[in-house]
């Protein structure tokens, strides 16, 4: 039986990174590929479950002429739709991306790309998120060729080794030609350094409004981390689980005299 792969993203169904990922997995042997992705950009939208309104799904044609489905829900809603029965055939693997910007360290909780893969984990399905480490404010079209090649390799390995429930892979690929990549590193989450600033402005009616701006985050390029791997030209693969418990704090907080 064919492996049924769902392709989704957080940039919207028409994003070139989604098509690059879909084309990469379509080339694999014995796979059936279905696409269900948001109808708009949800970047930074986090892990969403839309409960207060219904979700609509419609069929669209992508730039290469292939057919895809799009919904007015978040990336995680698209994954839930797919895994809860929108498609008749069971989904065996969810791949999300390719996001144009990296998702490193604490970014994973903001990232629509990564939280789509988190939703897969909730429904006992393996999920892989792919992000490209393109430079800030990149002008013009990005080249997804190298990242798509990496995605093909990662998905092939994941299908061969069948990774277990409760885990997703967060893959970040340096924005380099494929032959200039130094290899693959299995990493832990590194430390992102956020440089957000609150911009307070005044609207035409004299009322204040706020915009979170500032510079793009940097990171601490520590050995063994996703940030470190990417800066040194390596593809970073971080296994992620949804258990956020800080186990080391359980005894300490237990001593608070309950």
In the complex, minimum distance from the CB of residue 230 to Mn ion, in angstroms, rounded to a whole number: 16
Residue from 34, 43, 71, 134 touching Mn ion (CB under 5 A): that is 43
**99 sits near Mn ion (criterion: CB under 5 A):** yes
Separation of alpha carbons 143 and 177, rounded Å = 9
Residue from 8, 11, 125, 234 touching Mn ion (CB under 5 A): that is 11
Q: Are strands 234-240 and 183-186 parallel, antiparallel or unpaired?
A: parallel
Q: Tell me whether residue 43 or residue 187 sits nearer to Mn ion (CB atom).
A: 43
Detail the DSSP E strand segments found in the chain.
Answer: 3-8, 31-38, 57-61, 67-71, 93-99, 127-133, 168-174, 183-186, 191-202, 208-220, 234-240
Segment contacting Mn ion by CB under 5 A, of 8-16, 29-37, 85-93, 126-134: 8-16
Question: Of how many residues is the chain composed?
Answer: 258
Q: Tell me whether residue 34 or residue 96 sits nearer to Mn ion (CB atom).
A: 96
Structure tokens at 83: 């895994």
Q: Tell me whether residue 156 or residue 216 sits nearer to Mn ion (CB atom).
A: 216
Task: Count CB-CB contacts under 10 A for residue 79.
Answer: 29
Residue nearest to Mn ion (CB): 43
In the complex, minimum distance from the CB of residue 97 to Mn ion, in angstroms, rounded to a whole number: 8
In the complex, minimum distance from the CB of residue 205 to Mn ion, in angstroms, rounded to a whole number: 33
Q: Assess contact for 150 and 182: CB atoms under 8 A.
A: no
Segment contacting Mn ion by CB under 5 A, of 2-10, 23-31, 83-91, 223-231: 2-10
Q: Tell me whether residue 99 or residue 125 sits nearer to Mn ion (CB atom).
A: 99
Q: Tell me whether residue 11 or residue 226 sits nearer to Mn ion (CB atom).
A: 11
Q: Assess contact for 32 and 59: CB atoms under 8 A.
A: no
**10 sits near Mn ion (criterion: CB under 5 A):** yes
For tokens 């999300």, the residue is 96
Phi/psi region, residue 220 (left: phi>0; alpha: psi -120 to 50; beta: rest), is: beta
Q: Assess contact for 36 and 86: CB atoms under 8 A.
A: yes
Q: Tell me whether residue 87 or residue 110 sits nearer to Mn ion (CB atom).
A: 110
Separation of alpha carbons 169 and 161, rounded Å = 13
Using CB under 5 A as the binding criterion, the count of chain residues that bind Mn ion stands at 4
In the complex, minimum distance from the CB of residue 113 to Mn ion, in angstroms, rounded to a whole number: 6
Where does residue 252 rank: exposed (0-12), middle (13-18), buried (19+ CB within 10 A)? exposed
**119 sits near Mn ion (criterion: CB under 5 A):** no
Task: Count CB-CB contacts under 10 A for residue 136.
Answer: 8
Segment contacting Mn ion by CB under 5 A, of 6-14, 80-88, 146-154, 165-173: 6-14
Segment contacting Mn ion by CB under 5 A, of 41-49, 174-182, 217-225, 244-252: 41-49
In the complex, minimum distance from the CB of residue 134 to Mn ion, in angstroms, rounded to a whole number: 11
Chain centroid, CA 163 distance in Å: 18
Residues binding Mn ion (CB under 5 A): 10-11, 43, 99
């Amino acid at each position: 039986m064919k492996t049924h792969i769902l392709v989704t993203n957080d940039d919207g169904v028409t994003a070139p990174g989604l098509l690059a990922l879909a084309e990469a997995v379509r080339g694999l042997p014995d796979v059936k590929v279905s696409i269900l992705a948001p109808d708009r950009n949800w970047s930074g939208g986090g892990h969403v479950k839309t409960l207060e309104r219904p979700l609509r799904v419609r069929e669209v044609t992508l730039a290469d002429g292939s057919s895809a489905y799009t919904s007015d829900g978040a990336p995680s809603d698209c994954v839930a739709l797919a895994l809860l029965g929108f498609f008749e055939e069971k989904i065996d693997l969810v791949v999300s991306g390719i996001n144009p910007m990296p998702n490193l360290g604490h970014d994973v909780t903001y990232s629509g790309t990564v939280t789509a893969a988190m939703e897969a984990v909730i429904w006992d399905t393996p999920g892989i998120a792919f992000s490209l480490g393109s430079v800030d404010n990149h002008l013009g079209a990005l080249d997804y060729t190298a990242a798509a090649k990496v995605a093909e390799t990662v998905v092939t390995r994941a299908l061969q080794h069948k990774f277990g429930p409760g885990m997703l892979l967060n893959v970040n690929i340096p924005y380099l030609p494929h032959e200039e990549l130094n290899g693959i590193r299995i990493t832990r989450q590194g430390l992102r350094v956020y440089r957000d600033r609150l911009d307070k402005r005044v609207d035409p009616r004299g009322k204040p409004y706020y915009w979170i701006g500032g510079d793009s985050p940097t990171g601490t390029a520590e050995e063994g981390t996703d940030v470190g791997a990417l800066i040194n030209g390596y593809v970073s693969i971080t296994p992620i689980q949804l258990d956020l418990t800080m186990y080391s704090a359980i005894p300490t907080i237990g001593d608070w005299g309950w």
